[in-house]
Structures are given as C-alpha cells and as structure tokens.
Structure 1
Amino acid sequence: MVSTSRKFFKDSLEVNVFNSRLEMGQDAAERVAHKINELLQSKEQINMIFAAAPSQNEFLEALLTKKIDWSRINAFHMDEYIGLDAAAPQGFGNFLRDRLFGKVPFAMVQYLNGNAAAPEEECKRYAAILKNFPADICCMGIGENTHLAFNDPHVADFNDPEMVKVVELDLECRQQQVNDGCFTELSEVPTHALTLTVPTLFAAKYAYCMVPGEKKAPAIQHTLNADITETFPSTILRNHPMAILFIDEASSALI
C-alpha cells in the first residue's frame, strides 16, 4: 500500500493526501480491492457504482491489476448525458466500458441510457434495478462545483425522494467538461443529464472518492471546511460512516 504524506479526519470522513495522483490512484485501488475481497468472503455477489471522469483514470487502471473475482460483481454507473450520440467517447457509459466494464467479466453491467425516448421512464427503470441490487461500494469523484455525480448545487437534494432523476447542468459543471478535455468548447457539452441522486450515492455502504488535480483544490477546500449543505453537495461525505477521500498535493493545496 502506498504511504500517504498526510492522513486526517474531518467529521466522519477519512482524508488521505498523496504526493502525486498516480500514488493516489494506486492506493485507492488497493483499498477498494481489499474491501471487495473482504465483502466477497461473506456475500455471493456485491454491487458497485463507478464514476466516469479523467479524475478516475489512475484508480481504474490500478484496479484492473488487482486479483478480484469480477464475475461476482454487478456494476452500475452514476450519471449520463442526455442526447449525446450513443457512440460518443464522452459518454460516461462508453468511458467506463473502455476503461473497466469491457475489460473484465462482471456478473452484470447496467448502463443508463441517455438516448431513451422518455428520460423520466429511464430513471424509473434504472431506479428499479438499483432497488434490487443496493450498492455495497461507490467509487466516485467530486466536481469543480462540488457536485456528486451530476447533482450540481442548484439541483442537489440531500433528502431527494427520487433515486435517479433528470437534471439541468449548471455552467460551471459544463465548463469542467471542457477543462477536462472531454469537449473542445462549451457549446458541445449537453445541457441535461440523468443522475443517481445524492441519497442513492450516500446509501452505498462504503464510499471511495478520488479527487486529484489543481482545478479541484477549491472544491476540496469547500468539501472539508464549508457547512454541510446542498450549496456544496460534496460536504455530505463528511456524514458518511464509511467514506474515504483520496486527494493529491495539487487538489489539497487550499486546505
């Protein structure tokens, strides 16, 4: 296991700071793999939710090197653009298929369909599956505006009655997709998406949150120091009983 340069707690949230995003990703993968194998000792199958973003690249790459019985894991992803071409590499399902879902033999992979004729019905369909396969582990990131999945501040609801919903993306969220190099300009970024809600993500028994890079430094500052409110959705992680935050020196610069 990679040694951290710093480790501390903020409320219930364990925070680990690493010298580089590579070390961060490697340690997160080690911790997640250990938890997977621990859970599989007592459960026939486990259910996992994964984020799709460049911030997850090092983690996902390292996770593929671990000894894991993928055939006993059901996989979900947490959000998807509405109306993006089905084959577009920016699609979150495509991102995860290329980097994880298509590389190992999961028991089941469930994709959100951003091109469904009736997005609200797609939300109900996916929610019904999630109810039958409640998440054991959620692997996530935090957006530049502190969103979790696509729960931007203006739509985040810590007591959301829905499990999956349609949301309008705020400007900062859409700009982040350009900053990350996923789109060349803002006009290319879809304006709406499907997302698992905050309570759905929070319900996972174990949450692992990987957030590297200097552009995430303000978000990490808010996550750890702001009041726990929907103004900064990621602050809710400080209330999770089994959440771990992995950051690098760049994203920890303001704490």
Structure 2
Amino acid sequence: MEVKVLNTPEELGKAAAEQAAEVLRAAIKERGRARLTLSTGASQLEFLRHFVQADVDWSKVEMFHLDEYVDLPETHPASFRSYLKERFLAHVPISRYALVNGEGDIRRNIEQLNARLNEAPVDLALIGIGENAHVAFNDPPADFDTEEPYLVVDLVESCKRQQVGEGWFRSIEDVPKQAITMSIRQILKSAVIISCVPYQVKANAIKLTLENEVTNRIPSTILKTHPQWTLYLDKDSASKADAGKVTV
C-alpha cells in the first residue's frame, strides 16, 4: 500500500493519471495489449480529464467498468454507461470495451460480462471509495467471498444518500434499489489498483479505511491486502486520518 497526499483534486487527478498511463504502457510493451477497469462518479472527474490526454496507445487497450444501476436507462443523467461514453470513450480511440448493461435480461448480461472478463487478467483497476467506504457498489457489509466477477446487489441507504448528494438523483426514492457491480474478489485480481479519493466528504471513509483492520463492514479496508495498491488523496480527504494509526 502506498498513500499519496496532494494539495488539490486537480493535482491528485494529474498524478494518478500519470501512474495509470505508465502501468498501461508497461503492459502493452510486455504483452502487446492492456486491460483496464474504470470507476465513475464525481471523485473521478479530475482523473479522467488528465487520463484521456495521456500518451497511451489506446488502440491496444480494452476497458471494463465497475458497475451500473439496474433498470436505469442510459439516457438518465446518472447512468454510468453514459458517464463513460461522455468522459472517456468519446476522447480516446480505444479498441474494445464492455459496459455494464442494467437493462433487459440482467442474468444474460452478467453472464456475457463474466465470460468476457475471464478471457484474460486485468492489468489496472481504478477503484474509488464511497462515503460509506463501499468499493464499487459493494456496500457494507460487503460480500468478500463470492467468486462471481459481476453480481447484483441491493443498495443501502447511505449509498443512496451519496448519489443524491452528488446531484445524480433528486431524492433517495429516485435512486434504484439494485445495481450490477464487479465483486470484491474480482477487483482484487487486478495486477495494479489505483484509488482516487478527493474531497472532504470522503475524509471519514478514508479515516475508517486506514485506521481499521480488514472488515466487510468497511469494504475499502480490503484494498490494503492488495500488493500493488496506491491511494491518492487530497488534503481534504486526508484531513481526518491519523498517520500513526494506519493499519496495514
């Protein structure tokens, strides 16, 4: 685990994008291709703005994404498919990608995603941390045991409050009850994990993550078990954590 604290979200996004680009270039140099998992949400905006400008042969990169709401149309402002098309796919000539489709035949959609993801290892995963310390949509208490790459989960109220607070929905009642998410075990199979976690609203989640032993009631603590995890914070998100109490 490596923790890097930058002054601002902008500096955080730039530094994380530089590391992410290095990981992809190394994978392409070694095997001729790279596989990437991207997260979404407000905390990833600065990162993505820099990432799409990175010197990477995007034609040799395959992208997956972490999660999507069940029964939410892509035309909705909160759709993560729409988010990635607008903020990432529209800016890079990526060769192949798989978006999580939460509409239609959910079971079949997941089976197809799982088969696609199992074709080869993932080189790099960008994994955010939620205000309730969730990882992807693995809310507390998270399932640390399932081997399924993607699964359907119920969203807890604290997760729904974050989505409303970030402006994606008008009220908690408008947030879908379920989502498709990449599982914890699948995330941990990534060769490298980078987490961009700026903003004051994430300070308590970061404190809980760094100062507690691994527990599914604080899902983000599991990231500390990964041998190649880098956590990028800004001064606000790092403000509550006590460096002397960090537990690895």
TM-score w.r.t. the length of structure 2 is 0.95
Q: What does residue range 102-117 of structure 1 map to in structure 2 within 5 Å?
A: 102-117=90-105
1:150 partnered with 2:137: yes
1:129 partnered with 2:123: no
Q: What is the CA-CA distance between 1:23 and the residue it aligns to? A: 0.5
Match of residue 252 from structure 1? 238
Instruction: Output the CA distance in 2 between the equivalents of 1:150 and 1:190.
Output: 12
Contact kept in structure 1, 2:74 and 2:81, CA below 8 Å:
no
1:231 aligned residue (205, 212, 217): 217
1:56 aligned residue (22, 28, 44): 44
Q: What is the CA-CA distance between 1:178 and the residue it aligns to? A: 0.8
Match of residue 171 from structure 1? 157
Instruction: Output the CA distance in 2 between the equivalents of 1:26 and 1:239.
Output: 25
Question: What fraction of aligned residue pairs are identical, expressed as a percent?
Answer: 34
Instruction: Output the CA distance in 1 between the equivalents of 2:34 and 2:19.
Output: 16
Contact kept in structure 2, 1:120 and 1:165, CA below 8 Å:
no
Instruction: Output the CA distance in 1 between the equivalents of 2:167 and 2:52.
Output: 24
Contact kept in structure 1, 2:124 and 2:191, CA below 8 Å:
yes
Between Structure 1 and Structure 2, how many residues are aligned?
241
2:128 aligned residue (141, 154, 177): 141
Structure 2: 5+ residue stretches without partners: 242-248
Q: What is the CA-CA distance between 1:112 and the residue it aligns to? A: 1.0
Instruction: Output the CA distance in 1 between the equivalents of 2:23 and 2:113.
Output: 25
Instruction: Output the CA distance in 1 between the equivalents of 2:147 and 2:64.
Output: 20
Instruction: Output the CA distance in 2 between the equivalents of 1:221 and 1:253.
Output: 8
1:192 aligned residue (154, 160, 178): 178
RMSD: 1.0
Q: What is the CA-CA distance between 1:36 and the residue it aligns to? A: 1.2
Instruction: Output the CA distance in 2 between the equivalents of 1:206 and 1:167.
Output: 25
Q: Look up the SS of the partner of 1:42 in the other structure.
A: helix
Instruction: Output the CA distance in 2 between the equivalents of 1:204 and 1:100.
Output: 20
Letter in 2 for 1:75: M
Letter in 1 for 2:198: P
Instruction: Output the CA distance in 2 between the equivalents of 1:245 and 1:187.
Output: 32
Instruction: Output the CA distance in 1 between the equivalents of 2:147 and 2:38.
Output: 22
Letter in 2 for 1:232: I
Contact kept in structure 2, 1:47 and 1:135, CA below 8 Å:
yes
Instruction: Output the CA distance in 2 between the equivalents of 1:133 and 1:161.
Output: 16
Contact kept in structure 2, 1:81 and 1:192, CA below 8 Å:
yes
Q: What is the CA-CA distance between 1:186 and the residue it aligns to? A: 1.2
Instruction: Output the CA distance in 2 between the equivalents of 1:116 and 1:149.
Output: 21
CA deviation map 1:40-75 (0-9, x unaligned): 111111110000111000000001121110000000
1:26 partnered with 2:19: no
Instruction: Output the CA distance in 2 between the equivalents of 1:85 and 1:138.
Output: 25
TM-score w.r.t. the length of structure 1 is 0.92
Contact kept in structure 2, 1:82 and 1:114, CA below 8 Å:
yes
Q: Look up the SS of the partner of 1:47 in the other structure.
A: strand
Contact kept in structure 2, 1:74 and 1:109, CA below 8 Å:
yes
Match of residue 194 from structure 2? 208
Q: Look up the SS of the partner of 1:41 in the other structure.
A: helix
Instruction: Output the CA distance in 2 between the equivalents of 1:249 and 1:149.
Output: 23
Contact kept in structure 1, 2:133 and 2:220, CA below 8 Å:
yes
Contact kept in structure 1, 2:23 and 2:123, CA below 8 Å:
no
Letter in 2 for 1:192: Q
Letter in 1 for 2:34: I
